[in-house]
Structure 1
């Protein structure tokens, strides 16, 4: 294996270069996110920059499959699922598609990932967890990609934690994802010059789901499943609560909107502050996750309840903000 610095610099540099290319491509093709709908910006901004992260993940997966023959099937099926998610997102970035078609493809990708775990001999529960995580986080990251730096920074922070706790070779994929997110962020924060687009946001969620599922089935057995889902609390709560709110109010939940907590807060205090606040919250949950390894179940349950309750309260406070 290459040394960590070489691996990090390679993933970072490739993402940086492809994001620059993607911005030029989007401007030439007039692939612009206009203000409104799911976006909280005042001016049109290019989209599709997340193709850089996708390319890094695919190259990393190919390298790791070659380097670790025992996990070749897993990395192959992970790559296939990633191509499905990123591919439908790339098409959707060029021309709008039916949300039901996207959901169908996301389901196929989740099933492909689950098959990878099944063939690894992990049993039905890890495969089922992989399917649920993939379908849920793919759409959560897609929904939450609406302000400068938010989706990429969250994925980078969670990936850093995964790098520490995952065994080889999955820790190499985790830090590669973090480096790729870092290569994209200079174009997306503090002022977005390009967005991830559906090609990148869904791919980030899918990749994180794969890594979290790998942790559940192959990681440190002292880490209970409640701790594994702690780092994604901010995105899970905002996505789930907002969807539930729209459904209960009889709104078409599958259509674009600006009702997420992060969007409501961004209109009040600005994109940068919201992204930084989310980063601080997730840094805290990742820290608790790392410190809590090997903790007794009562402590883990208490921490889980506190973190998710806090996230829920912050979501509830956003409903009182004036639009």
Structure 2
């Protein structure tokens, strides 16, 4: 039994936030010189902006989260702590000099596979052969890592997504329904994102870059997978539901139109919203409010532990996401 887990996770988040902010301050001149993101037709920013602050976010998460989690058992983190830096390195190289699609995808698959295929055999979701389940999880993990990357296209967007998810996971850990190492990593990631937030608020002074968004996707996916392995599958779907629906629907729509779905574009709902008259702050604010509502639904699902309730909560969650996506896809009327 951990004494005062809420206070410990609060310290984890605070330390990660401070370390992240300090590292960003130290790194920013270097990023300004070597990792400048210049605007193009698909960008949401209009001035050259340094990218690569994800180095600080990931570093603070691994250092602080790992230090606290390892006190109660480091074993679940070993492969994660290999895979996350590997994915960050792929993102860093891609930020500086873009990697072709196929090699980038293979490297991402190696990182995700390390986490998925080395998990204990007794962690199961479905009554199917283990190798089939783990292969499906590899595909899902690859998609989740990339969709977090795809959705990191507006100032504070990833903060608005990651903070409600990680805060909920930390609270579940405090309640004893999620293993401590996972709760500690979630708290550290949430704190690091808060440390990053002041530098990324509109108009952003620095971006995460792929060095941040890709491993953040892996960390979030790993935490959510463990939540599902604890029996809370509906909650694990509800927490990232906005990202899942926006990114997946956009991908399917582009594939149906025979567009190069792997190429950068501006057709996600949150991007269309800014083209339809929404401000960046307005879009991110609505996404954050939606994610708070989804976190509440996920918490209710965990508390009730009922398949019937899960079905109802998922329908409510999908309805809330559909409402926001519909708003984003239509021109904003004056006074709205």
Would the TM-score normalized by the shorter structure come out above 0.5? yes
**The one of 226, 231, 234 aligned to 1:226:** 234
Determine the C-alpha separation between the residues in 2 that align with 1:131 and 1:38: 29
Query: Does the 8 Å contact 2:273/2:330 carry over to 1?
Result: no
The match for 1:137 among 141, 144, 147 is 144
Matched, 1:170 2:182: yes
Task: Give the TM-score, by structure 1 length.
Answer: 0.90
Structure 2 residue aligned with 1:156: 163
Q: Does 1:244 align with 2:256?
A: no
The answer for the alignment partner of 2:317 in structure 1 is 307
Q: Distance in 2 between matches of 1:244 and 1:312?
A: 16
Alpha-carbon shift at residue 35 of structure 1 (Å)? 2.0
- Residue 68 (1) aligns with residue 80 (2): no
Name 1:24's counterpart in structure 2: 29
> Which of 1, 14, 21 is residue 9 of structure 1 equivalent to?
14
Q: What is the match of residue 109 of structure 1?
A: 111
Q: 1:195 to 1:94 in 2, by over 3 A?
A: same
SS in 1 for 2:238: coil
Post-superposition Cα deviations, 1:15-37, rounded to whole Å, max 9, x if no partner, equal 111122232111122x2222235
Shift in CA distance, 288/35, structure 1 to aligned 2, threshold 3 Å: same
1:208 partnered with 2:220: yes
Moved more, 54-63 or 124-133: 124-133
Please state how far the C-alpha of 1:311 moved relative to its aligned partner.
2.0
1:153 deviates by 2.4
Query: CA-to-partner distance for each residue in 1:164-205, whole Å, 9 max, x for gaps?
Result: 112312111111110000000110013211111001011111
Q: CA deviation at 1:127?
A: 4.4
Pairing partner for 1:196 from 204, 208, 219: 208
Stretches of structure 2 lacking an aligned partner (at least 5 in a row)? 125-129, 173-177
Alignment size in residue pairs: 314
CA offset at residue 89 of structure 1?
A: 0.2
CA distance in 2, matches of 1:108, 1:231: 26
Conserved 8 A contact 2:163-2:193: yes
Q: Closer, same or farther in 2 for the Cα pair 1:45/1:11, shift >3 Å?
A: same
- What's the RMSD between the two structures over aligned residues? 2.2
Moved more, 31-40 or 282-291: 31-40
Output the CA distance in 2 between the equivalents of 1:211 and 1:252: 31
1:318 deviation in Å? 4.0
Q: Using a 3 Å threshold, how does the CA distance of structure 1 residues 237 and 199 change in structure 2: closer, same or farther?
A: same
The 5-angstrom pairing of residues 268-307 of structure 1 reads 268-293=277-302, 294-307=304-317
Structure 1 segments unaligned to the other structure (5+ residues): none
